[in-house]
Amino acid sequence: MKLSKKNLHERLEHVYDVIIVGGGAGGLSAALYLQRYRLSCLVIEKGRGRSFWMQDLRNYLGLPPNTPGRDLLQQGQNHILSLGADYLLGFVEDVQDEGDTFAVKVKVGKKDSTYPVFHSKYVIAASGIIDHLPQLDDMQNVYDYAGYNLHVCMICDGYEIADTRCGLFVNTEGNINTAFVLNWFTPYITVFTQGLFEVGEEMRHKLRDHGYPLVEQPIRRFLGHNHEMTGVELVDGSVVPLETGLVAMGSHYFNEYLKGLDLEWSGSNLVTDSMCRTSHPRLFALGDLKVGLNQVSIAVADGTLAGTAIWREIRRASPPRRWEENLSEPIGAVS
């Protein structure tokens, strides 16, 4: 059921089999599997994750290529609620290992917040990432185009960028190297540093060699209408016409709540085994938070893997059910 400030006290004594931090594609898929394995789980979603912002999910088998990410999330949320999962809008602040269980502290409500603590045998970290975006005075101007033709994922949307005049927006010299992958899709690349850092001579030479203009002036605003970005206006008033954009400015990882646990990391990503188990035996990590491709299909499969691994472990530790309860003797021919 949906939990809120009004009813969450009903669950404070309950020990869930699994608490899932994050209600994106990975977390919802894990809940779907766990509930179908007849285990109890609570999904805690902070809202507005990466797939929420996705205007068109074009590469997930089974959905028409113009499906908004939020439709996938809504369908998944309905699905897991129909299977008896609990779902709470809240922000996970901390996870403590209590030995046999975890204590998961959540901030619920932006005003008059409460801080309930829920308990579970396992935790699945599926809280994902959010892409850094160009920081303009008017962020609404950025949101008007981000997720439309101002893309944030080349693997997802390179196809839409193909052979267009594309602006590549970066915040480090290392991120400029994205240009030399993006050119598989288009050679008409203009690199925007937004004046955030100095570009070394070697990189300048490489860009010149490829014919990719480098724009180092800060951006005043994106131009366009109806969510279709048509170019960039720089602070000096000059305009660079574009047909598409790709933001390659890194990501914020929602993993602060895990920092009290002793886990193996690879940069900001959690290291996991083939079933998405982290170096902690009762903690799993899915999707963008773990090492691997940041794709909806991968997160969904990760949910399958983690859910199945947890079910196997709980099942093997449980006594077998014998045919002796409720039902009478079997009818018919038996040995």
Closest separation between CB of residue 262 and a copy of itself, Å?
A: 25
**Which part of the chain contacts a copy of itself (CB under 8 A), choosing from 58-66, 90-98, 101-109, 138-146?**
58-66
Q: 131 and 50 in contact (C-beta within 8 Å)?
A: yes
Residue number with CB closer to a copy of itself (190 or 194): 190
Residue number with CB closer to a copy of itself (97 or 173): 173
Q: 242 and 167 in contact (C-beta within 8 Å)?
A: yes
CA distances from 157 to 18, 56, 291, 299 (A): 34, 9, 21, 17
Chain residues 180-239 in contact with a copy of itself, contact rule CB under 8 A = 180-181, 183-190, 204, 209-217, 231, 234, 236, 238-239
Closest separation between CB of residue 34 and a copy of itself, Å?
A: 11
Which of 2, 9, 48, 65 contacts a copy of itself by CB under 8 A?
65
Which of 2, 9, 14, 38 contacts a copy of itself by CB under 8 A?
38
Closest separation between CB of residue 70 and a copy of itself, Å?
A: 12
Taking the C-alpha atoms of residue 93 and residue 90, their distance in angstroms, rounded to an integer, is 9
CA distances from 6 to 88, 116, 131 (A): 11, 12, 33
Residue number with CB closer to a copy of itself (47 or 62): 62
Q: 29 and 304 in contact (C-beta within 8 Å)?
A: yes
Residue number with CB closer to a copy of itself (96 or 279): 279
CA 35 to chain centre: 21
Is there binding between residue 267 and a copy of itself (CB under 8 A)?
Answer: no
**Which part of the chain contacts a copy of itself (CB under 8 A), choosing from 114-122, 153-161, 252-260, 262-270?**
153-161
CB under 8 Å to 168, separation ≥6 — which residues?
Answer: 176, 178, 179, 182, 189, 190, 191, 192, 245, 246, 248
Closest separation between CB of residue 257 and a copy of itself, Å?
A: 24
Which of 5, 70, 79, 221 contacts a copy of itself by CB under 8 A?
79
Is there binding between residue 317 and a copy of itself (CB under 8 A)?
Answer: no
Closest separation between CB of residue 156 and a copy of itself, Å?
A: 8
Q: What token pair was written down for 6?
A: 């009004």
Which of 1, 159, 264, 266 contacts a copy of itself by CB under 8 A?
159
Q: What token pair was written down for 143?
A: 């949101």
Q: Which amino acid would we find at residue 171?
A: N
CA distances from 59 to 55, 229, 237, 265, 298 (A): 12, 22, 38, 29, 11
Q: Which residue has tokens 């009903």?
A: 10
Residue number with CB closer to a copy of itself (35 or 175): 35
Taking the C-alpha atoms of residue 306 and residue 289, their distance in angstroms, rounded to an integer, is 14
Closest separation between CB of residue 281 and a copy of itself, Å?
A: 20
Closest separation between CB of residue 132 and a copy of itself, Å?
A: 23
Is there binding between residue 158 and a copy of itself (CB under 8 A)?
Answer: yes
Chain residues 98-137 in contact with a copy of itself, contact rule CB under 8 A = none
Taking the C-alpha atoms of residue 75 and residue 23, their distance in angstroms, rounded to an integer, is 12
CA 101 to chain centre: 25
Which of 15, 63, 153, 203 contacts a copy of itself by CB under 8 A?
63
Structural Rg of the chain based on CA atoms: 24
Closest separation between CB of residue 329 and a copy of itself, Å?
A: 9
Residue number with CB closer to a copy of itself (83 or 130): 83
